[in-house]
Amino acid sequence: MSFLVEENPARHRFEILVDDALAGSTEYVPRGEVLVFTHTEVDKRFQNMGVGSALIRGTLDQIRERGGRVATQCRFMAAFIERHPEYADLVVPEP
């Protein structure tokens, strides 16, 4: 199984493809250089396979590479960051 995380700026979200099938996304609202993440969803066919965690990890890695920051209204992303404190430096209070 191969994962690919890509940003879809037109839809304000990062998407994860599993073997070329859209498996989930995490949506954001841009606020300057901060992306406020509001919701993460994984297709039922791909749940409990690590797809959600791979989506968030790939999203945060891309944001880190470009020097961005995140605010987390999304409980799934907030919980992921709590379990993976190496990403805590990307989080800012909601703008």
- Inside any domain, residue 67: yes
User: Is residue 95 very low, low, confident or very high in pLDDT (cuts 50, 70, 90)?
Assistant: low
Range of the domain at 38: 3-90
Q: What is the pLDDT of residues 47-68, one digit of tens each?
A: 999 999 999 999 999 999 999 9
Q: What is the domain count for the chain?
A: 1
Q: 40 in a domain, yes or no?
A: yes
Residue 95 counted as domain residue: no
Is residue 53 in a domain?
yes
pLDDT above 80: residue 83: yes
Q: 25: domain CATH number?
A: 3.40.630.30
Mean confidence (pLDDT) of the chain: 95
Residue 14 included in any domain: yes
Mean pLDDT value of segment 6-27: 97
d(CA 27, CA 7): 10
